[in-house]
Amino acid sequence: MIKMSNHANKGVLLVGFGMWGRHLARNLMEMGVLRAVCESNPAAAVAAMQACPTIPVIADFRDALNLSGVDGVVIATPAVTHYPLAHQALTQNKDVLVEKPLALSVSDGASLVELAERKQKILMVGHLLIYHPAVVKLEELIRKGEMGKLLYVYSNRLNWGKVRREENILWSFAPHDIAIMLRLLGEMPTKVMAHGASYLSPGIMDVTTTHLHFASGVDAHIFVSWLHPYKEQRLVVVGDRQVAVFDDGLKDGKLTLYPHRIDWVDHVPVAHKAVGEPVPLPDLEPLRLECETFLEAMKTRQAPPTDGVSGLSVLSVLSWSQKSLETGVPWERNRVSHDVGPTVFVHPTAVVDVGARIGGGTKVWHFCHVMADATIGRDCVLGQNTFVASRVVVGDRVKIQNNVSLYEGVVLEDEVFCGPAVSFTNVRNPRAHVERKDAYETTRVGRGASLGANSTIRCGVNIGRYAAVGAGAVVTKDVAPHTLVVGNPARPVGWVCKCGEVVSKDCDPAENVVCRRCHCVYLVEEGHLMEATGSDSPAK
């Protein structure tokens, strides 16, 4: 009998009924959310029909996406198909859980994350071990300081067989341990060196060893092989107070703490071994927890622990490791970046100068440059090739599209949207041969305002709350709140609601204006649109 859960109102399409897809199908069936299985392989499709007799099995992915009642897509297919399938699902406005790796290139992974951001859809990566009770407990021990200062982390993920032809052992086995290490350490490596060898198929590595160095001083290595005589899945975390061993090959006692210590006697290190202490863990299936997390994210719209950004971080380390495998030289971060913390994503090609302040949850994408003394709030998105000068202030939840430069004097309040190639200035009469830094003017964009692509904002103007500037407009004077302006020079042509809906300007000032989309009520005072509560006022 299928156990119905509180997620039963959500519908999920499972793509792929191979070895891993069968486990996913079992969990999704038990949770009462599996609506269909997509499988083009005839033998696997028959297996799906037998295992899920009440669930339709569909060969064509496009047909499956169009089924009614499908809110999310779980992709358990070969890695080479992850990007095209996830991209198509997101384009069709579906939430997506894709098995690791997110994609086979950083550019494809970044494209998926950006698409999910734009569509406001959940993108989650199946880094299963992040949900393992042992890893959850280990992270808790580290955060509480019970491990002491972390010194070294290493893992062995070894087996005989399970040989792949689509990807090498690094891409098949190492994502698990990379994901765990990034999660536990809360930082990206600054140096990556990988060695490997191909024995079965030319160009397909069967054995690799990857060495990682982190700015905190922690070092790590990952040894993976599918030519090992026995199965081993062991992660060791060495702290100066305790050593933790996560052995996933054991049935019981998967996490053990060893309170070893080193004493210095007459300037000589003396090692003291201690008896291992098993850590009690709840008997929970990690895959079930992963599925529950995906469904919860679909319900709450909150990013899961293994969201697209974390998956892209893992993908970046895999890419750097692959590059080292191919060239025989280490990959090193060759630019000085400010340590902005584990909840801020900074793409490896971006530069964040020491002294910049960036709030949690913000994403800084390809080729951006954030200068010292710039302030950026929480949960912002800086698109490709964004430049943020010193003393620029950006509020929370601001979205800046590609190729935007914010010069000194620019202030963006919360929830501002800047379309691609918006142009700001800070001097009214610039000359290349005349220094005019003392003439910089402040340009303020009010909360919730939207600036269309290729619009130009003259320095010194104020754009009111929830105003909208049309694409290509040239703003030369202040824009009142809730006002829509277009043209060169920009001129008022209408009003806009907080939700972005254009409201009529041809109305009786004695009557309230009601947004047809969100039903927000406004008053017209002295030619300006004002919220009925009186919370807004014209730009000063």
**Which stretches within 19-105 are classed as H helix?**
19-30, 42-51, 61-65, 82-91
At 525, which amino acid appears? E
At 460, which amino acid appears? G
How far apart CA 219 and CA 182 sit, in angstroms, is 12
Helix (H) or strand (E) segment spanning residue 411: strand 410-412
Backbone angles phi, psi at 452, to 5 degrees: -70, 165
Per-residue pLDDT of the chain (540 residues; tens, 9 = 90+): 333 345 557 899 999 999 999 999 999 999 999 999 999 999 999 999 999 999 999 999 999 999 999 999 999 999 899 999 999 999 999 999 999 999 988 888 988 988 998 899 999 999 999 999 999 999 999 999 999 999 999 999 999 876 666 678 899 899 999 999 999 998 889 899 999 998 888 888 899 999 999 988 999 999 999 998 889 999 999 998 899 999 998 988 999 999 877 777 888 887 778 888 999 999 999 999 999 999 999 999 999 999 998 999 999 899 899 989 988 988 886 444 455 656 788 887 788 887 888 988 899 998 899 998 899 999 999 999 999 999 999 999 999 999 999 999 999 999 999 999 999 988 877 877 777 666 688 999 999 999 999 999 999 999 999 999 999 999 999 999 999 999 999 999 888 998 888 886 655 555 678 888 888 888 887 777 877 754 444 433
Three-state secondary structure string covering 244-271: EEEECCCCCCCEEEECCEEEEECCEEEE
Contact 221, 209 (CB under 8 A): yes
Contact 464, 484 (CB under 8 A): no
Contact 311, 164 (CB under 8 A): no
Q: 426 Cβ partners below 8 Å, 6+ apart?
A: 407, 408, 409, 410, 440, 441, 443, 459
The whole-number pLDDT of residue 508 equals 54
The DSSP annotation for 478-528 comes to: -B-TTEEEETTTTEEEEEE-TTS-EE-SSS-TTS-EE-TTT--EEEEETTE
How far apart CA 17 and CA 462 sit, in angstroms, is 57
Domains of the chain: 12-126+287-295 (3.40.50.720), 130-282 (3.30.360.10), 345-503 (2.160.10.10)
**Residue 394 in 3-state DSSP?**
strand
The whole-number pLDDT of residue 479 equals 95
The whole-number pLDDT of residue 521 equals 85
Neighbours of 73 (CB within 10 A): 24
pLDDT in tens, 279-321: 999 999 999 999 999 999 999 999 999 999 899 999 989 989 9
Q: 150 Cβ partners below 8 Å, 6+ apart?
A: 142, 184, 185, 216, 218, 237, 238, 239
Cis ω before 489 (30° cut-off from 0) = yes
The whole-number pLDDT of residue 341 equals 58
How far apart CA 16 and CA 81 sit, in angstroms, is 11
The whole-number pLDDT of residue 274 equals 81
Beta-strand (E) ranges in 104-188? Answer: 123-126, 150-160
How far apart CA 312 and CA 100 sit, in angstroms, is 10
Can you tell me which residue has the tokens 């892209």? 312
